[in-house]
Structure 1
Amino acid sequence: MPFPLYAPLPETLERAAELARRYGLELVATPPDAGYWLALTATRLELAAAEGHGAVVADFVEGAARHRREFGGGRGQPVAKAVGLKGGAMPSVVDATAGLGRDAFVLASLGCTVTLIERSPVAAALVDDALLRASSDAGTAPIAARMTLVHADAAEWLLTLAEADRPDVVYLDPMFPDTGKSAAAKKDMKAFQSVIGDDLDADRLLVAAMAVAKKRVVVKRPRLGAPLSGVPRTGELPGKSTRFDLYAPKKPA
C-alpha cells in the first residue's frame, strides 16, 4: 500500500504531486487517524505521526548539518578518514544506504562527489526535499550540486554500473533492529526506523559493494556491534560510539 503524503496548502500541491509520482506515494486529502504520513508544509517535507513525536526532517542547511559543516573538524572526521580523504585524494563515493543523507552531506561538503542510493520511498522523498532546499541556499548549493539521489535497491543498482561509472568507495550504514543494549534513540528516530525498516539483507549489499568499488568498501557499525557476516575485514577505525569497518574490493576472477 502506498505511503500517504498530505499537503495541507494549495501552493504545495504541485510539488506534492511530483513527489507522489516520483516515489510512489499516495496523495491524501486529510492526514490519517493513526500511524505515520509525510506532510509537505510551506517550508519542508516532514515525517509526521499520530503518536505525536517530533517531526523527522532531512536538513542540510540548518541545525546539526550547519554546525557540523562549520565546526565538525573537516577531513579529520572519522567518516572522512574511513573513505580515504587524505592528502589531495578526493574519492568518488556511493552511499548505498543513504537514510537521511547526513554522512553523504558531510562527504560532499569536503569535496567528494556522492551518489545517494535509497530504496525507501519515504527516506528518498525526505532527502529529495532536503536537496531542493540546499540547492536554493547560497551556503549549501555548491555542496548539493555534488550530490545525486537515486531511488533504487542499492545491491541491484550497483551491479548495473558500467566499468567507467564504478565509484572509488561504496559506503554502507545499514540499519538493524534495536537490541536494547545501546542508549535509547530519540522517539523521532525510532519512528523513522520503524517506517523505513531494517536492512536485514546488508550482507547481500556488502557483496555487491565489494564487486563494484574500485578502492574500498566502508561499513559503519555501532562500536561494539558485530561485523557483517561472511567477509573478512581488512581493517577498522574505532570511535567513541561507532566503528568503520574496511573491506577490500573483490578482484575480478
Structure 2
Amino acid sequence: MDAIQLAVGCSHPLYGPQARSVAESLNLPFLDRVDPKFIEDYPVLLWLEEGGLSLQVTGRKAPGPVRAEFVSGKAGYRRDHGGGAGQLVAKAVGLQRTSKPLHVLDATAGLGQDAYVLAGLGCDVTLLERSPIIHALLADGLARAAGDVGAGPLVARMQLESGDSIRWMKARNDAVADVIYLDPMFPHRDKSARVKKEMELFRPIVGADDDAADLLQVALERARYRVVVKRPRKAPTIEGPPPNTQLEGKSSRYDIYALRALP
C-alpha cells in the first residue's frame, strides 16, 4: 500500500504555533488554519483543535477524528467502571497470578489504550511507538490527560520513549521489563470485514510490521517473565517458537510466551 500524504493544520490561529511546531518536527507541510472539509490536496491531516491533535480525513463526508484519548470516551468510561480488570489483556499479562506490581513494556504502543488499561490496574508501563505520526498523537494524548483528576494518576505510570523497539531493546543488555507486550500491525486482507476507523488510517501510515518475527525474538531475550502477543483471533502465530498458551476473545487472541513463573 502506498504511503499516505499528510499535512498539518489547525482550527484556530490560537493553535497555529503548536501546529507549526508539530509540522516542523515531522517534516510535514503546514497549512495553518484550514477546514478539513475543503482540503483536496491531502487525504488526511494531522489536525490540531480544542480536543487535541488528531488524524482527520479530509472531505465533506469524512468520519470524525482519531486521537489518543484517555480522559473521555471508552477509556474514561472503563476507568470509571472497574478499570478493565476483567479484560483478557489483564489476564494475559498475568495480573491475576501475582501481587507484585509489574513493569510492562508496550513495544507497539499505538494509541496507548492497552497500556492505559494496564496502568489503571497498577502496572508501570513503558511505551514505544516507532511511527513518528502515531508517536505525536500519543504524546499529545498523554500530555492532555496528565492534568485530569481521574486520568492523571494513571498516565503518570506511563512513560513514552522514542525509537524503534527492536533497536531500543537490543541497546540494553539485561531484562528491560517484567512483561513485554506486542501488538504488531497485521496485514488486513479481508476487504469485506468491518475495520475500526483508526486501523483504516493506520495501515497506510504505519504499514505492516514485516519484522514482527525479529521483534518477538528480541522480546523473548529481554523480558523477565513473559511476552504477550495480541493477534487477530484467526491469524497465525508469529514465526518463531510456539506460545505456551493462548487466550481467545471474540475478535482477538493473546499468545503467551512464559519464560519463568511470575513473582
* TM-score, with structure 2 as normaliser: 0.86
Q: Unaligned regions of 5+ residues in structure 2, if any? A: none
State whether structure 2 residue 107 is matched by structure 1 residue 99. no
Question: Would the alpha carbon gap of residues 22 and 90 (structure 1) be closer, same or farther in structure 2, given more than 3 Å must change?
Answer: farther
Alpha carbons of structure 1 residues 159 and 129: separation in structure 2 relative to 1, 3 Å: same
Q: What's the counterpart of residue 38 of structure 1?
A: 46
State the partner residue of 2:165.
Answer: 154
More strand by share: 2
Instruction: For 1:192-207, list aligned pairs within 5 A.
Output: 192-207=202-217
- CA displacement at 1:172 relative to structure 2: 0.4
Q: CA deviation at 1:157?
A: 0.8
* Corresponding residue to 2:219 among 209, 213, 221: 209
Check whether the contact 1:48–1:55 (CA below 8 A) recurs between aligned residues.
Answer: yes
1:100–1:123 CA contact under 8 A, matched in 2: yes
Deviation at 1:5, TM superposition (A): 1.6
Which shows bigger deviation, 194-203 or 106-115? 194-203
In the other structure, the counterpart of 1:123 is 134
1:9 lines up with 2:12 in the alignment = yes
Q: Does 1:140 align with 2:151?
A: yes
Task: Tell me, in whole angstroms, the C-alpha distance in 1 between the residues paired with 2:42 and 2:22.
Answer: 22
The structural deviation recorded for 1:161 is 2.2
Q: CA deviation at 1:25?
A: 4.2
Deviation at 1:28, TM superposition (A): 3.2
Is contact 1:95–1:172 with CA below 8 Å preserved after alignment?
yes
Name the Cα RMSD after superposition. Answer: 2.3
Amino acid of the residue matched to residue 76 of structure 1? Answer: G
Between 148-157 and 22-31, report the one with greater CA deviation. 22-31
Q: Which moved more, 1:153-162 or 1:14-23?
A: 14-23
Looking at structure 1, the residues matched to 184 and 113 of structure 2 have their Cα atoms a distance apart, in angstroms, of 14
Match of 1:178 in 2: 188
Q: Match for residue 55 of structure 2? A: 47
In the alignment, the residues of structure 1 paired with residue 249 and residue 46 of structure 2 have an alpha-carbon distance, to the nearest angstrom, of 34
Number of positions where the alignment pairs a residue of Structure 1 with one of Structure 2: 249
Q: Which residue of 2 aligns with 1:247?
A: 257
Counterpart-to-counterpart distance in 2, 1:34 and 1:14: 21
Q: Distance in 2 between matches of 1:198 and 1:4?
A: 22
The residue matched to 2:177 in structure 1 has which SS?
Answer: coil
Distance in 2 separating the partners of 1:96 and 1:222: 17
TM-score (norm 1): 0.89
Change (3 A) 1:181 1:240: farther
Could you say what secondary structure the match of 1:114 adopts? Answer: strand
